[in-house]
Amino acid sequence: MLVIVGLFVAFVLVAIFANRGTRGCRWRMDKTRDRDGKRYFRCAACGAEELVPLGKSPQDCRAPRKPTQP
């Protein structure tokens, strides 16, 4: 019984983390693209790009959201 519960939990975790919509942004800094006193960041998960003031980092996902299918 314990094995079945463990397999079910593993399946649920894989299903959650395999869905791109549930992953948070992973921001990467690219200093070569800085401009106007702002730092350039690009998300490795969704491709969003953002310029933020020096000393700060992006906090929210900025990627365009795809409409959900009914």
Q: What is the pLDDT of residues 12-43, one digit of tens each?
A: 877 766 655 545 678 899 999 999 899 999 98
Six token digits for residue 68: 């959900």
Residue 61 or 29, more confident: 29
Tell me what pLDDT residue 22 has. 47
CA 54 vs. chain centroid, Å, equals 21
d(CA 45, CA 18): 12
- Tell me what pLDDT residue 17 has: 67
**59: pLDDT strictly greater than 70:** yes
Residue 40 and residue 33 in contact, taking contact as beta carbons nearer than 8 Å = yes
Contact call for residues 61 and 47 (beta carbons, < 8 A): no
